[in-house]
Amino acid sequence: MRKIIISILVIALLLQGCSKNDSSKESLKDVEPTEALAEPTATPEPTATPEPTTTPEPTSTPEPELTIPQATNDSGKVRIQTASLDAAHPYTSYIISSVNGENVVVDPTQMPAIDVVDFNPVAILSTHSHPDHTDSVFSRSYDCQKLNYKKGEIQTNDFYIYTILSSHSNDIIKESNQNVIIVFEVDGLRIAHMGDIGQTVLTEEQLTELGDIDIAFMQFENSYSSMTLQNEKGFNLIEQLDPTVVIPTHYSSNSLPVLEEKYGAITEVKNILDITKEELPEGSMNVYIISNEYKYF
């Protein structure tokens, strides 16, 4: 009997253990995973090393293009050109060239040196002694005929040139007043440079000596000659002379609308005017401006 009871107890204990084991298994099945495994962190792509910055080469300022006055004339016409580098008075100095290429320089100032351009002039002339009408260094560079602000004449192969006494600042005409009008006869044209004439009127004697003028260089504003737009002295003088073409010398931009109102549209050419007697415009008092855009330094 005792053995039977012990056997029953053993069997009961075994059955209880199996039950516990099964419930453990059940509980393990019912347990949810606590957390999903994290995705592995991606290793960042290596950052490319930037190319070294290249410092640009400094840009050099280009040298200004030179524009040299012409020493030769192959136009087949009379050539009139500016030449001075005088910024304050760019329109007082001119080179007149014959069809055959003889050069005459009138009222030189701040002119190109002979090693820059060799004009080989046959004559150099000045209307008066002021520094905006003379260039002693330039004149000494050439062995040619010269006539400076006095009565005289010059003859070359192509030119006949003569001077007429006038006054720089009043109506008293004598050589000590140091302004002469210069007349150039070349290839059928008659050209007059009036210098810094300051008279109120041209005399009958002067008008007779001048004769018919095709082209005249004339000032319109100049305090040294007591010449203003208000007193119109320059306009009165040039209208007495009545040339076909007028080339202004001393003037400001204020003169241009007055000239245009009085004499019509202004013709402007760059640096050089090539012209013949046959090409002169109709009528008189046609205003031509020869600009000065030379650069030779």
**pLDDT tens by residue, 98-114:** 999 999 999 999 999 99
Assigned domain for 287 exists: yes
Edge-to-edge, what's the strand order for the sheet holding 267-270?
153-155, 159-167, 178-186, 189-193, 215-218, 245-248, 286-291, 267-270
Q: Indicate whether 53 belongs to any domain.
A: no
Let me know if residue 126 belongs to a domain. yes
Give residue-wise pLDDT tens across range 13-44. Answer: 444 544 444 444 444 344 444 444 444 555 55
* Whole-structure pTM value: 0.78
Query: Domain containing 163: what range?
Result: 78-291
**In this predicted model, what pLDDT tens digit does every residue of 217-251 receive, in sequence order?**
999 999 999 999 999 999 999 999 999 999 999 99
- In a domain, residue 16? The reply is no
The CATH number given to whatever domain includes residue 234 is 3.60.15.10
CA distance 50 to 115: 56
d(CA 94, CA 219): 14
The C-alpha atoms of residue 193 and residue 15 are separated, in whole angstroms, by 146
